[in-house]
Structure 1
Amino acid sequence: MAPVPFDWDTEIRTAEATGDILQCTSPTGAQGYIHFTNIIGVLPSTSLSGYQVLFLVNPGENDEELGYLEKTDIPSLPPSLSPFVVQLPDHLRHSEPVQVIISTLSGTGSAQTVFRDIIEPFLSLLGINHQAHETQSTQTISDLSRSQFLERACAGTPQTIILLSGDGGLVDILDVFYKSTQSIQRPPQIALVPCGTGNAMASSIGLRSGPASSLVALLRGGPSPVPIFAATLSPGSQLVINEGRQRLPISPEPAASHQTIYGAVVASWGLHAALVADSDTVEYRKFGSERFKMAAKELLYPSDGTAPHRFQGKITYLTIDGQEKTTESDEHMYVLASLVPRLEKDFLISPDSEPLGEQMRFLHFGPLPAEEAMRLMTLAYQGGQHVQEATVTYTAVEQLRIEFQEDLERWRRVCIDGKIVVIEKGGWLELRKEPRQLLQIIKP
């Protein structure tokens, strides 16, 4: 039973819990119902005796249909609601305004609606001072990080950042922090509200278990350090933007001996990187996470009837027990290193990974018929069963190096936390764990 049309601002005479339903009755006898799964939290009322219930109204079946936020004051607390009672956490109590980043182009473009209907009412109801920033370009979050967030962190100023975006927004922030030569005195605490397509980090830490999960984490969760990897790239590598039509230098010194991008989720080459790059268009984004499956089918079944591309390159990796290994062949289909278990809510790419754990894992398989490759990817949606297949290499690693042997630029694209980088001809990429921990994420 979902919440019903009801004037939640009216006086509540009684609030009774039956099973996992809270039934509220007004003095006139009108009734409204709140399902426990839609409750964000219950706070002691500041102006009246009793309690204030925060909840979502009309959340949809999927995570893109969040509904809208409501509140009601109840005179007494049914015992079954006791686990929902919270006090404002420290990350919402400091004097500095909470910073809210609204990534206008992430995913299907829902971030502005989520802010208007969910986040802004939530902060206003709790009396939390906040400052909102809408992205104007692909550089907005990086610019904010350099001009504001980094400066405050170096000064030791506490700051909470609510990030309405996909994984790319997080990597924008961490890339600025890890490339800085300044001393970070107080890491910012970042609350994720997934508005991207895959939302790998949010999915991995449990923020895709229901429409209320992000607000529940913000109200009831706490900070945890974010493990990071460093992707070192050969000189000449460039960021790909504007649906593949433009290139940007990775660093202000493109002629340096190498360049580095930092990530917290995944680095990939081959089928995964190609499908992320090919589907990064306005037209594809209309389909949400289905865009990845659509692009994968086009890569596995080329329109000219040829077999899927065999990616050419030498791959070496260092296992956690110190052994340096090389893949059996220099031809590949799927090459990926991950710090997180999930790339989408149901796509369990690395079942042995712990959310915000520190172990990087390498997953690989070589050229396969399209039907077999599709079967392996389907198994990843079935509880990560793909890692049990004999054709799949899946192991914990400390480092990974790829030496590219492709002529065409299309086959030299790599994906780092959703961002696409093109490696120059004859170039290379190296991955390693980053020992510093300069950011924190608020997890459930």
Structure 2
Amino acid sequence: MTPPVIYTTDDGCFDCDSCGDSLRFKSEQAQKQITIAVHSIICIVPKDNRGETVYSLLYLRNDAENERLLLDSILLVALPRQLSNHLCAQLPPHLCFSGSRRGSMDIIVSTTSGTGTGASFFNNILRPLLSHLGVTEYDVHETQSTQTITELCHAKFIPRARERLQQTILLLSGDGGLTDIIDAFHSTLESLIVPPTIALIPTGTGNAMANSLGLLAYPTTGLVALLRGTPANIPTFAADFSPGARYIIDEGRQRVPISRKPMSDYGHPRVYGGVVASWGMHAALVADSDTVEYRRFGADRFKLAAKEILYPSDGTEPHKFRGAVTLFKWDDQTKSRREDLLSRNEHMYVLASLVSSLEKDFMISPLSRPLDGRLWMVHFGPISPSSVMQVMTSAYQKGQHVGDESVFYDEIEGFRIELDELDERWRRICIDGKIIAVETGGWVEVHKDPKRLLNILLLKSFPPSMQ
């Protein structure tokens, strides 16, 4: 049997160049040398090699020929001082369910999120990584329809939660998959003794939650969070709708009831979310771009749809969304909630967010902090298409749009919209990327939800500091 090639840290191997920090390793045995970027390293795992301890360095390697990332590894004779914080000497509790510790781990692979990279990521990176770590006991679920994750929650995850079992859910998805879990749990349970822990591996288009948590800082960040992250509660909001509201699915071709939902105190259907609730331009562009044709452009699909909304192909002016918008705010003096009706009845952008960034670099709420539970409203009325584009461009510049005099930006407890639109196209509401059509004369009311039924792994800093 050929002995494994074992590397040692090359003297003076620490480089700082235009590509980022990297380390060089050499093997006198095989006369090989390799350079690995620090940001591509996932972890270092101690291994036994014929009675001697060596270290397996696991990292992501770019397969340029096939335009994909792969998991790769090398063996090290010793742990480099610079990488001591990458050492994974033992599994975190959320990955360890053997022996007397009751619990389970499930992996959900969304096959339609983003450009459909979830299955490839699982096969080429996540599954071999878990194998290196010795994690073998888990169930894998590939989504078969838009209802797969919701059905899994009701058939498997929620019953386990009621039994007070530990659960870890590795979610390879965009915001939609996370929202399905949030909505299912909050629609069914009032409280949990042991909230399931979700490890989000972002494979969607916008990935608002992942971007806001910093999970897309580098390709490895989501995996590092899986190993080093700390569970934190996911704040949510509840959206109540008038009785005739319906989900829009199948690229806008079908309308389905908001089923399996509890009724609010007033007997209306309710939907839960954890990212964003919007009406106006944002909801319209998300709805219009939710097609196979648009999705092939990745995150650029939102920009393409926005251009069509602002510059209609028929040459008309952009639509002015009509409705009464009321903001709910907390009054520190009276220690109660107050209602502020916006003076205008025409709007362009009405969006409330629990997160900071809706996509890479698109910082919609610069004052938001990861999972702080604060809800922020971004609003502006009808302005010229060029002005809208300028506002949106400023959002890509670290959220500078909130300083524009045409933009209202403030913390709220919730809001209510009473729509005054005949055409259904302008009565679409976006809840975490899902689109709901409100009936003529209908309304939507959103408010923060106090329950905390789910955890997500939050990485407090990345990369681990160089020692």
Aligned to 1:285: 295
Deviation of 1:154 after TM superposition, in Å, equals: 1.3
Matching of residue 99 in structure 1 with residue 121 in structure 2? no
Alignment counterpart, residue 90 of structure 1, candidates 87, 93, 105 = 93
Q: Which amino acid aligns with 1:241?
A: I
Sequence identity (%): 51
3-state SS in 2 of match to 1:302: coil
3-state SS in 1 of match to 2:359: coil
Alignment of 1:322-337 (within 5 A): 322-337=337-352
What TM-score, normalized to structure 2?
0.89
Q: Is the 8 A contact 2:24 2:35 kept in 1?
A: yes
Deviation of 1:317 after TM superposition, in Å, equals: 0.7
Question: Whole-Å Cα distance in 1 between the matches of residues 349 and 155 of structure 2?
Answer: 38
Q: Is the 8 A contact 2:45 2:133 kept in 1?
A: no
Deviates more, 1:290-299 or 1:106-115: 106-115
Aligned to 2:326: 316
CA-to-aligned-CA distance 1:16-54 (integer Å, 9 cap, x gap): 342343323231211222111110111222565022211
Question: Whole-Å Cα distance in 2 between the matches of residues 181 and 28 of structure 1?
Answer: 59
**Structure 1 unaligned blocks of 5 or more:** 1-8
3-state SS in 1 of match to 2:422: coil
Alignment counterpart, residue 116 of structure 1, candidates 116, 123, 126 = 123
Question: Whole-Å Cα distance in 1 between the matches of residues 374 and 63 of structure 2?
Answer: 35
Instruction: Go from structure 1 to structure 2 and tell me whether the alpha carbon gap of 1:13 and 1:109 turns closer, same or farther (over 3 Å shift).
Output: closer
Q: Is the 8 A contact 2:277 2:352 kept in 1?
A: yes
Aligned to 1:12: 6
Deviation of 1:208 after TM superposition, in Å, equals: 1.0
Aligned to 1:30: 32
**Structure 2 unaligned blocks of 5 or more:** 16-20, 332-336, 460-467
Deviates more, 1:17-26 or 1:403-412: 17-26
Q: Is the 8 A contact 2:261 2:271 kept in 1?
A: no
Q: Is the 8 A contact 1:155 1:185 kept in 2?
A: no
Matching of residue 49 in structure 1 with residue 50 in structure 2? no
Matching of residue 345 in structure 1 with residue 353 in structure 2? no
Deviation of 1:12 after TM superposition, in Å, equals: 1.0
Deviation of 1:13 after TM superposition, in Å, equals: 4.1
Matching of residue 391 in structure 1 with residue 406 in structure 2? yes
Instruction: Go from structure 1 to structure 2 and tell me whether the alpha carbon gap of 1:230 and 1:364 turns closer, same or farther (over 3 Å shift).
Output: same
Deviation of 1:252 after TM superposition, in Å, equals: 4.0
Alignment counterpart, residue 70 of structure 2, candidates 68, 71, 90 = 68
Instruction: Go from structure 1 to structure 2 and tell me whether the alpha carbon gap of 1:357 and 1:254 turns closer, same or farther (over 3 Å shift).
Output: closer
Deviation of 1:443 after TM superposition, in Å, equals: 1.3
Q: Is the 8 A contact 1:154 1:182 kept in 2?
A: no
CA-to-aligned-CA distance 1:146-170 (integer Å, 9 cap, x gap): 1111111111111111111110101
Q: Is the 8 A contact 1:189 1:442 kept in 2?
A: yes
Question: Whole-Å Cα distance in 2 between the matches of residues 160 and 382 of structure 1?
Answer: 36
Deviates more, 1:279-288 or 1:112-121: 112-121
CA-to-aligned-CA distance 1:280-335 (integer Å, 9 cap, x gap): 00000000000000000000001111110000100001223244211121100000
Matching of residue 368 in structure 1 with residue 383 in structure 2? yes
Matching of residue 235 in structure 1 with residue 243 in structure 2? yes
Q: Which amino acid aligns with 1:18?
A: F
Deviation of 1:423 after TM superposition, in Å, equals: 0.5
Q: Which amino acid aligns with 2:25?
A: C
Runs of 4+ in 1 over 6 A off after TM superposition: 253-256
Deviation of 1:182 after TM superposition, in Å, equals: 6.2
Deviation of 1:65 after TM superposition, in Å, equals: 6.5
Deviation of 1:72 after TM superposition, in Å, equals: 2.1
Aligned to 2:22: 21
Instruction: Go from structure 1 to structure 2 and tell me whether the alpha carbon gap of 1:59 and 1:97 turns closer, same or farther (over 3 Å shift).
Output: farther
3-state SS in 1 of match to 2:193: coil
Deviation of 1:118 after TM superposition, in Å, equals: 1.2
Alignment counterpart, residue 223 of structure 2, candidates 196, 204, 215 = 215
Q: Which amino acid aligns with 2:194?
A: R
Q: Which amino acid aligns with 2:106?
A: Q
Q: Is the 8 A contact 2:375 2:448 kept in 1?
A: yes
Higher share in strand: 2
Aligned to 1:180: 188
Instruction: Go from structure 1 to structure 2 and tell me whether the alpha carbon gap of 1:424 and 1:184 turns closer, same or farther (over 3 Å shift).
Output: same
3-state SS in 1 of match to 2:255: strand
3-state SS in 2 of match to 1:81: helix
Question: Whole-Å Cα distance in 2 between the matches of residues 253 and 398 of structure 1?
Answer: 22
Aligned to 1:199: 207
Aligned to 1:137: 145
CA-to-aligned-CA distance 1:100-132 (integer Å, 9 cap, x gap): 101111111111111111111111111112211
Deviates more, 1:36-45 or 1:418-427: 36-45
Deviates more, 1:83-92 or 1:408-417: 83-92
Aligned to 2:284: 274
Q: Is the 8 A contact 2:25 2:33 kept in 1?
A: yes
Aligned to 2:234: 226
3-state SS in 2 of match to 1:49: strand
Aligned to 2:435: 420
Alignment of 1:287-306 (within 5 A): 287-306=297-316
Deviates more, 1:414-423 or 1:320-329: 320-329
What TM-score, normalized to structure 1?
0.94
